[in-house]
Amino acid sequence: MGCRPSLPDSLPVICQAPNHDKVLFALGHQHLGLTQGAISGKLIGQLVTKPASEIYVSAFCISRFN
């Protein structure tokens, strides 16, 4: 019961926070956080260590709502 972390386009946010080098977002998984948590964690790890990501993560950036 209660509010769920849902976004208007049904995609999660997985990115570095704008204007903050040490803050990363992994949110808005639309009731699928347990299912998508592993890949989200892997992508966040890749953003932290800066290798080439396995998935094109800019599609999940928070800036898509600007």
**Domain ranges within the chain, ordered by starting residue:** 13-65
pLDDT digits (tens, 9 = 90+) for 4-55: 768 899 899 999 999 998 999 999 988 888 899 999 999 999 999 987 777 8
Structure tokens at 22: 């040490």
Contact 47, 16 (CB under 8 A): yes
What is the rounded (10 degree) CA torsion for 65, 45, 55, 13?
-20
Task: Band the pLDDT of 1: cuts 50, 70, 90.
Answer: low
Tell me which residue has tokens 């570095």: 16
58 residue type, one letter: S
pTM over 0.85: no
